[in-house]
């Protein structure tokens, strides 16, 4: 791809803002740990924003699928098959720094916190599964034994498993882009059918945790990345596409409570994955940068949330559970206020002194001649 056809900014505000929107949905969907949802219906139609965790995961997977695939393709074009390991290594190191630090904190808390009721065996097995990125498999088979404060980390396991397979595919067939496109399309159809079947036969819990049932959103992001060059012929339509995709994403969020979990594992999940794939394609084109949707999603508060999304995602649920078990006699409002205060302080420190320095360091791994003028690939 010629330089003039590459995304001109190393960091696109609308993509960062969409990530911020997704992490907001995740944080709100788990706030029931400290503030129960028993009267959530009273704030309708805004109640959907407190039930959008699965929708947020689909958004994250599409974003990551798009950005990581672009990075892997660039690495393949630079170094051939030997280069694709570098983006994967960068991503693994950045995510693992946060995850392993959390696991150390959990292991220490399990020893010194008298109110931590998890058994030693549960803590040990859970931390091993999280550390080896097999957590989604473990939680699916041992739901009653797994630590609840680590439950959300299944997403990182699914993501890494998908991207390992993706890196292998690009290493083998990176020069055959059409074949990759066809293969991804076939996989999207197969995974979508399989998710429907698993949901119908085994229920929502199993369908939520299988890699083979949650990979569809990542595959849509991968497909968008593979088609990015071809999509340049429709650059003039990018602002309209971005606006329409934004409307669909917001509508899906608002409809979350009304339609229920059935809709997510059927049509709703497909709609948000396709809309997000179109969003990332359109947002990465310069023509859409000043559109109303880009300005909305690129607002400073959402960009700030997007910048700290990894740290916030990893740490929010353990903080919720820790505060909840130490404030059982507090009012819901008081518990929520202290939870937010602790989380903001913790995320600020960890983002500044762990995530950002690590991002800068890992960004130099495997680079040739300095950074490319391409889309930022860190999530």
pLDDT in tens, 24-65: 999 999 999 999 887 777 777 788 889 899 999 999 999 999
Spatial neighbors of 361 by CB under 8 A, at least 6 apart, are none
CB atoms within 10 A of CB 373: 11
User: Does pLDDT of 245 surpass 80?
Assistant: yes
Q: Is 131 exposed, middle or buried (0-12, 13-18, 19+ CB in 10 A)?
A: middle
Helices (H), the chain: 13-29, 53-79, 85-112, 120-131, 135-141, 154-173, 177-202, 204-209, 211-214, 216-226, 228-231, 238-263, 269-283, 292-297, 300-307, 309-326, 332-350, 356-362
Q: Find the mean pLDDT for residues 180-196.
A: 97
**Cα–Cα distance between 348 and 361 in angstroms, integer?**
19
CB 205 within 8 A of CB 140: yes
Residue 378 is predicted with a pLDDT of: 46
pLDDT in tens, 314-364: 999 999 999 999 999 999 999 999 999 999 999 999 999 999 999 999 988
- Confidence grade of residue 267 (pLDDT, cut at 50, 70, 90): confident
Residue 119 is predicted with a pLDDT of: 94
Q: Which of 166, 265, 156 is nearest to 208 (CA)?
A: 265
Q: Find the mean pLDDT for residues 194-210.
A: 94
**Cα–Cα distance between 50 and 66 in angstroms, integer?**
26
CB 107 within 8 A of CB 127: yes
Q: What percent of the chain has pLDDT over 70?
A: 93
CB 198 within 8 A of CB 206: yes
**Cα–Cα distance between 379 and 374 in angstroms, integer?**
14
Residue 4 is predicted with a pLDDT of: 38
**Cα–Cα distance between 190 and 166 in angstroms, integer?**
16
Average confidence score pLDDT of the chain: 91
- Per-residue burial over 258-291, b = 16 or more CB atoms within 10 Å of its CB, e = otherwise: eeebeebbbebbbbbbbbbbbbbbbbbbebbbeb
Q: Which of 19, 160, 170 is nearest to 93 (CA)?
A: 160
3-state secondary structure of 328: coil
Q: What percent of the chain has pLDDT over 90?
A: 84
Q: Is 180 exposed, middle or buried (0-12, 13-18, 19+ CB in 10 A)?
A: buried
289 DSSP assignment? T
pLDDT in tens, 78-126: 999 999 999 999 999 999 999 999 999 999 999 999 999 999 999 999 9
pLDDT in tens, 283-318: 999 999 999 999 999 999 999 999 999 999 999 999
CB 58 within 8 A of CB 272: yes
**Cα–Cα distance between 58 and 218 in angstroms, integer?**
8
Q: Find the mean pLDDT for residues 127-147.
A: 96
């Amino acid at each position: 791809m010629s330089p003039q056809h590459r995304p001109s900014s190393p960091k696109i505000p609308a993509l960062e803002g969409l990530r911020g929107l997704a992490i907001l949905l995740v944080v709100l969907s788990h706030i029931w740990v400290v503030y129960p949802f028993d009267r959530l219906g009273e704030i309708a139609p805004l109640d959907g924003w407190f039930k959008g965790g699965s929708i947020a995961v689909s958004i994250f997977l599409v974003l990551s699928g798009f950005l990581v695939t672009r990075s892997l393709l660039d690495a393949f074009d630079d170094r051939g098959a030997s280069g694709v390991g570098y983006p994967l290594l960068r991503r693994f190191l950045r995510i693992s720094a946060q995850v392993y630090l959390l696991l150390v904190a959990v292991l220490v808390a399990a020893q010194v916190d008298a109110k931590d009721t998890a058994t030693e065996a549960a803590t040990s097995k859970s931390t091993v599964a999280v550390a080896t990125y097999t957590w989604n498999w473990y939680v699916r088979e041992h739901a009653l034994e797994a630590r609840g404060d680590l439950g959300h980390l299944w997403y990182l396991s699914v993501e890494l498993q998908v991207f390992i397979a993706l890196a292998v595919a690009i290493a083998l067939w990176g020069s055959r882009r059409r074949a990759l496109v066809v293969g991804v399309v076939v996989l999207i159809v197969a995974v979508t059918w399989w998710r429907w079947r698993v949901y119908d036969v085994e229920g929502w819990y199993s369908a939520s945790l299988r890699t083979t049932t949650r990979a569809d959103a990542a595959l849509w992001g991968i497909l968008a990345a593979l088609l990015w060059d071809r999509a340049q012929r429709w650059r003039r339509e990018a602002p309209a596409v971005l606006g329409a995709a934004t409307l669909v994403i917001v509508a899906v969020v608002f409809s979350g409570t009304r339609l229920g979990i059935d809709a997510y594992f059927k049509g709703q999940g497909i709609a948000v994955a396709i809309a997000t794939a179109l969003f990332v394609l359109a947002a990465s084109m310069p023509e859409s940068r000043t559109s109303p949707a880009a300005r909305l999603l690129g607002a400073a508060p959402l960009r700030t949330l997007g910048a700290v999304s990894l740290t916030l995602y990893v740490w929010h649920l353990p903080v919720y559970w820790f505060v909840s078990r130490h404030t059982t006699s507090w009012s819901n409002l008081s518990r929520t206020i202290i939870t937010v205060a602790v989380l903001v302080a913790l995320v600020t420190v960890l983002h500044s002194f762990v995530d950002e320095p690590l991002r800068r360091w890992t960004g130099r791994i495997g680079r040739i001649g300095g950074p490319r003028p391409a889309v930022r690939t860190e999530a």
